[in-house]
Amino acid sequence: MKTDLREIKGIGIRKEKLLNRLGIFTIFDLLQYFPRTYEDRRYISPMATISLPRTEPVLICGYVQRIQEVHPRRGLSILKVGIADDSGEAELIWFNQPFKKNYLQCINSLRYSEKWKRHTVNAK
């Protein structure tokens, strides 16, 4: 376990230096390096049961109902996407990410996990 990182296939000098900056010097260090955070995405929450604001992410799944892109001023793009499930609906907002509009127009349903800041969920 005290073996050098470069013994692992695919780790060269550059990758080793990056890992050393994180405090990883041996294979044992690499095995003991855990992610900073973990999101449990096994459970889908009905939109009507979400209480806001939330400090931890919540996963919702719904059907895309509407997509609206707004340019209130030069250099600012706001993408508003309305999604709904059987219990309610919500509006997701992205700033300066107009490329997501093309992706969202190609799908029917959406899974989304994020911290919710405002109360944009309406129960049916």
Say whether both 61 and 106 belong to one domain. yes
Q: What is the rounded average pLDDT of the residues 6-14?
A: 89
Q: How far apart are CA 124 and CA 36, in angstroms?
A: 37
Can you give the pLDDT at residue 1?
A: 67
What is the extent of the structural domain holding 69?
47-123
Q: Per-residue pLDDT tens for 64-114?
A: 899 999 999 999 999 999 988 888 888 888 899 989 888 888 877 777 777
Q: Does residue 7 sit within a domain?
A: yes
Q: Does residue 39 sit within a domain?
A: no
Say whether both 20 and 73 belong to one domain. no
pTM for this structure?
0.63
Q: Per-residue pLDDT tens for 38-69?
A: 777 888 888 888 776 767 778 888 888 999 99
Residues whose CB is less than 8 angstroms from the CB of residue 33 and which lie 6 or more positions away in sequence, other chains included:
22, 23, 24
Total domains, the chain: 2
